[in-house]
Amino acid sequence: MKRIEQLAKLKQTSEWDVIVIGGGASGLGTALDAASRGYKTVLIEAVDFAKGTSSRSTKLVHGGVRYLEQGDISLVTEALKERGLMAQNAGHLVKNQSFVIPNYNWWGGYFYTIGLTIYDLLAGRLSLGRSKYISKKKTIELLPTVEPKGLVSGVIYQDGQFDDSRLAINIAQTAVENGACLLNYAKVIGLLKNDKNQVTGVEIVDHESGEKYEIKGKAVINATGVFTNAIMKLNDTVYKKYIVPSQGIHLVFDKSFLPGDQALMIPKTSDGRVLFAVPWHNKVVVGTTDTLIKKHSLEPIALETEIEFVLETAQRFLVKKPTRADVLSVFAGLRPLAAPEKEGKSTKEVSRSHKIIVSETGLITITGGKWTTYRKIAEDIIDKAITVHNLPKAKCKTEHIAIHGNKQTDTKARENHLYIYGTDIPKILELQNNEPELKEKLHPDYDYTMAEVAWAIRYEMARTIDDVLARRVRLLFLDARAAIASSEKVALLLAKELGHDETWAQRQISEFKHLANGFILSDFQEKHH
Give residue-wise pLDDT tens across range 505-525.
999 999 999 999 999 987 643
Task: Say whether pLDDT at 368 is over 50.
Answer: yes
Per-residue pLDDT, averaged over 295-307, amounts to 91
Task: Say whether pLDDT at 118 is over 70.
Answer: yes
Could you give phi then psi for residue 435, rounded to 5 degrees? -125, 85
For 9-37, write each residue's pLDDT tens digit: 999 999 999 999 999 999 999 999 999 99
DSSP 348: T
CA 148 remoteness from chain centre: 34
Q: Are 489 and 450 in contact (CB under 8 A)?
A: yes
pLDDT of residue 290: 87
- Angstrom distances, CA of residue 478 to CA of 125, 279, 282, 329: 34, 11, 9, 6
pLDDT of residue 296: 82
pLDDT of residue 350: 53
Instruction: Work out the end-to-end distance of the chain between its first and last CA atoms, rounded to an integer number of angstroms.
Output: 51
Entry field: residues in the chain: 529
pLDDT confidence tier of residue 272, bands split at 50, 70 and 90: confident
Question: What residues are paired with 334 via a beta bridge?
Answer: 247
pLDDT of residue 344: 54
Task: Say whether pLDDT at 346 is over 70.
Answer: no
pLDDT confidence tier of residue 164, bands split at 50, 70 and 90: very high
Q: Are 83 and 410 in contact (CB under 8 A)?
A: no
246 contact partners, CB below 8 Å, separation of at least 6: 290, 291, 292, 293, 334, 335, 337, 347, 350
Alpha-carbon gap, residue 229 to 125, rounded angstroms: 40
76 contact partners, CB below 8 Å, separation of at least 6: 63, 64, 67, 68, 119, 122
pLDDT of residue 223: 97
| Per-position b or e across 413-430, b if 16+ CB within 10 A of its CB | eeeeebbbbbebbeebee
What percent of the chain stands above pLDDT 70?
96
Q: Taking the C-alpha atoms of 156, 160, 165 and 168 in order, what is their torsion angle to the nearest 10 degrees? A: -170
The type of residue at 418 is L
Q: Is 239 left (phi over 0), alpha (psi -120 to 50) or beta?
A: beta
pLDDT of residue 262: 96
pLDDT of residue 347: 53
pLDDT of residue 348: 53
Task: Say whether pLDDT at 349 is over 80.
Answer: no
pLDDT of residue 516: 97
pLDDT confidence tier of residue 342, bands split at 50, 70 and 90: low
CA 434 remoteness from chain centre: 33
Q: Hey, what domains does the chain have and what are their CATH numbers?
A: 3-53+165-242+344-400 (3.50.50.60), 243-338 (3.30.9.10), 416-519 (1.10.8)
Q: Is 150 left (phi over 0), alpha (psi -120 to 50) or beta?
A: left
pLDDT mean across residues, the chain? 93
Task: Say whether pLDDT at 527 is over 50.
Answer: no
Alpha-carbon gap, residue 336 to 52, rounded angstroms: 10
Q: Are 99 and 389 in contact (CB under 8 A)?
A: no
Of the two residues 229 and 187, the one the predictor is more confident about is: 187
pLDDT of residue 238: 74
Helix axes 73-89, 106-123, angle to 10 degrees: 60
Task: Say whether pLDDT at 151 is over 60.
Answer: yes
pLDDT of residue 524: 47
CA–CA–CA angle 131, 135, 139 (5° rounding): 80
Task: Say whether pLDDT at 354 is over 90.
Answer: no
